[in-house]
Structure 1
Amino acid sequence: MATSLPLRISRSAPDEPTTPYKQYVYAYPHQKAYRLGEERPLLTDVWAGERLDALSLYVHIPFCEMRCGFCNLFTRTGAPEDVTRGFLDTLERQAAATREALDANGSPRFTLAAFGGGTPTYLTADELRRLCDICENVMGADLAAVPWSVETSPATATADRIALLARRGATRLSIGVQSFVEEEARAAIRPQKRAEVDAALSRLKEAAFPILNIDLIYGIDGQTEQSFQVSLDAALSWEPEEIYLYPLYVRPLTGLMAKHDKSGESWDEQRLRLYRFGRDHLLAAGYRQTSMRVFSRIGTAAVDGADDSNISEYNQQAGMVGLGVGARSFTTDLHYTTDYAVAVPEVRRIIDDYIATPTDDFRRAQWSFRMDDDERRRMYILSMLLEADGLRVDRYADLFGSLPQDDFPAQFALVTGRDWVREDGGRLRLTLEGMAWADAIGPLFFSHRVNEAMSSYRDR
């Protein structure tokens, strides 16, 4: 692994977590740590020396049919056809510039792909067809030959869209249901009819994707174990290969935040109680927990069809190629993206600016975060420790020439002292209770530099 800057690991003790629900760590560092660069290096230089034979492709579609009350994603609702057409025109130009930079450094090969957002199936079937063509003909990703995930919603999982994705080889469809109880959906500012949800799931099952995932949320106002079980059992009745259980967060600039600022021990207690109930219910139903949020049905492709561990580790550390406004790209030394916002006016402005971006600007990294050995260590720990398989100590030592417990003694003293992490067969693994506190454990490993950048970011 390349080393560009001297190693400086902070030895300061982290603050003792007071809530299990600090922050969902889906990628490190958080996008709020990125800044508009002064150098803006050429992508040909950014990708120089990178391993190109195990790349992952992520395409961000920043459109939805509605904005849920808990959503703080980069997305716009109700985009007209001229905006989605302009977005795809620009994405094709960005793809060409990106592929040009990759080709300058070797022969790129994609082993994973994902369409996220937003809601990719907000695009029409014809627009999805064009998006697939861009990925295959411009980027060179063989979508039919790699694990390929697409996010959808009950309102947009229409027959023509689902048929198109099945023909093009999508292997995983993830549908955001959140709750099968209509009153709870309304409380989360996600109005939807149960009949619409069931009709969408019926179409997804008929398409026979290798992996169907259903997202559910716990911690909604008025939600109890009894009402949560209604959603759990409804999801289980469709026999999905995966079920994701998300704790509800109320974040700045979201619909729920505008209504009320939820906080305090009672809400933490409700979420933790519902989490444990949902976890136990799914484990008893034949699912394996692979992270705090992810439950995979034993004996299915979600468990048995896992990717080669070396490829998976590489894609978590580097080798992510992002397309579309809001998408992130990861190389060993630089993470880069476009501008990012949550507030509706800012999101619309940024999408308009993206569509108007000159092609030459896509040849350079714009908003970015420079990685060093300290940050790479933290990223590796977060990508492995928060998963059920845990952090292999020998693998960490091979990569970094040290032990994780020596690099981050205060953090590991805290998590082992709370019995959240134990050493097991050469791996550092979350305990059952540690898994419940994963959203508090992750931020313990954030660097001072990242925390400073995130705290100085102005929400917009």
Structure 2
Amino acid sequence: MSAPRPYQSYVYAYPHKTAYRPLDDRPALEALWEREPKDALSLYLHIPFCEVRCGFCNLFTRIGAPDELTGRYLDALDRQATAVRDALGDAAPVRFANAAFGGGTPTFLEAAELERLCDIAEKRMGAELSAIPLSVEASPATATADRLAVLAGRGATRLSLGVQSFVDAEARAAVRPQRRADVEAALGRIRDARIPVLNIDLIYGIDGQTAASWRLSLDAALAWRPEEVYLYPLYVRPLTGLGRHADSSACAERAWDEQRLRLYRQGRDHLLAHGYEQVSMRMFRRSDAPAQGPDDYACQTDGMIGLGCGARSYTSALHYSFDYAVDMREIRTIIDDYTATEDFTRAAHGRYVDEDEARRRHLLQSLLQAEGMPLEDYRLRFGTDPYGDFAAELDTFAAHGWLADGPSGRLRLSPEGLAHSDALGPALFSPGVRAAMAAYESR
């Protein structure tokens, strides 16, 4: 049995946002959250601005923010936070177990704007940022001392820096204009700010990248002893800078798959040899890294509140967000519509999640972690067995050698299974989600 292509889709959430559609009933948030557990929620604030847009990026973000757009965006974020917190009510305790600022680039905001962003999380939503894990994404150009001081002072426990490559020529090939000297200076400022956890993002599969240049980036990252390192395969997606020039011939794609797998294995083995533990296909954590703080949030079962026009929110029955696009003109329109919105009391776009989809999501979000899924957790939640619910899929994974051996009480992936996470994940998508994703018109 031949294995499928290893790089199909990065499954960071399920169902995928391209399966969302306008919600005809536009349900009220108060009704959606009325019976949901709210004692261990995750809070995500989305900032859809960047100083540049990388050639591989299909995130919901725009370049720059003219005419005081960031101020209007924060005004809208404040209105949304007020409406959402009102919808959560006070009949049962509302507590946030963790928080994150993502994008885009949250540190695109100036220091005073970052203070306001933290105030929205704390004063409007009630998230005690200094008492919970708080993760923030940054770029080298925006990781300035004044911004980092704000984040450190407000309780940030993790700063994720998008480096991608320490080789200037590779950064240019990925349409990411940056110099290694500037990256190193930003890393120095981050360490000076004493944020407990530094994560460095690196990308493999860039045009012209070799085993030697990949090793150079890995060693340059390790020189800073980051508590975490993420290794991302390069994807070339429609409507992105690189996507407009991609060679989609079968021969070229096979060769690229083989190159990325070689570089992934090299990177994985290098990090493991230098004292890192593998958490997932992408994530590696230094074995002596400090804990970020108490975090009792379980992504399989607990709810998520997303604020901002690119953020998602999750209840047990509905995942919802705002409209989604990749094309810059479409994104600008959506952001403009968001900043003009006064009524944030209803869900506009999303997808309802039935019990079959909940099973798939639970399995996906557990199995793609190196520690795997406790079988008893699944059985207690659903009253069924994953080997019965997903017999065909798990048999296929076993035939490819993707499942680990041994009766450990956990369903776990083998090292090769982790390497093929981006093929394994999509294989668990439901027919309905596949059809909705296929029908989505990229824009």
* 2:238 matches 1:221: no
The residue number in structure 2 matching 1:268 is 257
Output one character per residue of 1:138-170: Cα deviation in whole Å (capped at 9) or x when no partner. Answer: 111111110000000000001110011000010
Alignment partner of 1:333 is 2:322? no
Q: CA RMSD for the aligned pairs?
A: 1.3
Counterpart Cα distance in 2 of 1:76 and 1:208:
30
Distance 1:305 1:347, change over 3 A: closer
Find the aligned partners of 2:75 and 2:35 in 1 and give their Cα distance. Answer: 30
Whether the aligned pair in 2 keeps the contact of 1:317 and 1:376 (CA below 8 Å) is no
Residues 44, 104 of structure 1: 8 Å contact kept: no
For residue 358 of structure 1, give the secondary structure of its aligned residue in structure 2: coil
What are the residue-to-residue correspondences of 1:360-439 with 2, within 5 Å? 362-424=344-406, 425-439=408-422
Contact kept, 8 Å, 2:3 with 2:400, in 1: the verdict is no
3-state DSSP of counterpart to 1:449: helix
Letter in 1 for 2:50: C
Q: For the residues of structure 1 that align with 2:67 and 2:112, how far apart are their CA atoms? A: 12
Match of 2:288 in 1: 299
Counterpart AA for 1:206: D
Q: Does 1:256 align with 2:242?
A: yes
Deviations 1:41-85 (A, max 9, x none): 110100011111101100110000000000000000011251110
* Structure 1 unmatched ranges of 5 or more: 1-14
Q: Is the 8 A contact 1:61 1:119 kept in 2?
A: yes
| Structure 2 unaligned residues grouped into runs of 5+ | none
CA distance in 1, matches of 2:314, 2:52: 30
User: CA shift at 1:260, angstroms?
Assistant: 2.1
Is the CA contact 1:328–1:337 (under 8 Å) kept in the aligned structure 2? yes
Could you report, residue by residue, the CA deviation over 1:413-460 in whole angstroms, capped at 9, with x for unpaired residues?
A: 000111101354111111011111010000111000100100000000
- Which of 351, 372, 375 is the equivalent residue of 2:335? 351
Give yes or no for the alignment of 1:342 onto 2:342: no
2:83 counterpart of 1:100: no
Is contact 2:41–2:297 with CA below 8 Å preserved after alignment? Answer: no
TM-score, L = length of structure 1 = 0.93
Q: Whole-Å Cα distance in 1 between the matches of residues 259 and 400 of structure 2?
A: 21
Aligned to 1:48: 34
SS in 2 for 1:316: coil
Q: Secondary structure at the match of 1:215?
A: strand
Q: Work out whether 1:125 is the aligned partner of 2:125.
A: no
2:266 maps to what in 1? 277
- How far apart are the structure 1 equivalents of 2:294 and 2:418? 23
Cα deviation code 1:368-393 (max 9, x no counterpart) = 11011000000000110000110111
Asked whether the equivalents of residues 420 and 431 of structure 1 are also in contact (C-alpha less than 8 Å), the reply is yes
- 1:90 is matched with 76
1:344 partner amino acid = M
In the alignment, residue 42 of structure 2 is paired with which amino acid? S
Q: Which deviates more from structure 2 when the two are superposed, residues 412-421 or residues 97-106?
A: 97-106
Q: Is the 8 A contact 2:165 2:203 kept in 1?
A: yes
Structure 1 residue 18 displacement after superposition: 2.2
| C-alpha distance in 2 between matches for 1:100 and 1:182 | 48
Taking every aligned residue pair, what percent have the same amino acid on both sides? 58
Aligned partners of 1:320, 1:40: CA distance in 2, in Å?
19
Shift of 1:191: 1.1
Letter in 2 for 1:285: H
Q: For 1:17 and 1:118, locate their aligned partners in 2 and report how far apart those are by CA, in whole Å.
A: 34
Aligned AA (2:429):
F
1:271 alignment partner AA: R
Pick one of 141, 148, 155 that aligns with 1:155.
141
Partner of 2:100: 114
Partners of 1:353 and 1:454 in 2: CA distance = 24
Aligned residue pairs, count: 439
Deviation of the 1:357 alpha carbon: 1.1
Q: Distance in 2 between matches of 1:368 and 1:103?
A: 22
- Other structure's SS at 1:173 match: strand
* Preserved contact between residue 61 and residue 331 of structure 2 (Cα < 8 Å): yes
Which residue number corresponds to residue 424 of structure 2? Answer: 441
Matched with 2:441 is: 458
Question: Alpha-carbon deviation of 1:134?
Answer: 0.8
- Residues in 1 aligned to 2:228 and 2:67: alpha-carbon distance in whole angstroms: 33
Alpha carbons of 1:336 and 1:105: their partners in 2 closer, same or farther (altered >3 Å)?
Answer: farther
Instruction: Letter of the 2:282 partner, please give it.
Output: R
Cα distance between partner residues in 1 of 2:217 and 2:136: 22
Q: Conserved in 1, the CA contact under 8 Å of 2:40 and 2:302?
A: no
Question: Could you give the per-residue CA deviations for residues 310-341 of structure 1, whole angstroms, max 9, x where no partner exists?
Answer: x332x333310000001000000111101111
Tell me if the contact between 1:317 and 1:379 (Cα under 8 Å) persists in the aligned partners: no
Q: Which amino acid aligns with 1:289?
A: Q
Matched residue type, 2:374: R
Q: Which residue of 2 is the match for residue 240 of structure 1?
A: 226
Counterpart Cα distance in 2 of 1:141 and 1:249: 35
Cα contact 2:158–2:292 (8 A) shared by 1: no
Where in structure 1 do 4 or more consecutive aligned residues deviate above 6 Å? Answer: none
Q: Which letter does structure 2 place at the counterpart of 1:457?
A: Y
Q: Look up the equivalent residue of 2:355 and give its one-letter code.
A: D
TM-score (norm 2): 0.97
* Distance in 1 (alpha carbons) for counterparts of 2:3 and 2:235: 17
Amino acid at match of 1:234: A
Other-structure match for 1:27 = 13
Corresponding residue for residue 71 of structure 1 = 57
Taking a change above 3 Å as real, the CA distance of residues 40 and 60 of structure 1, as seen in their structure-2 partners, is: same
Distance 1:150 1:317 in 2: 23
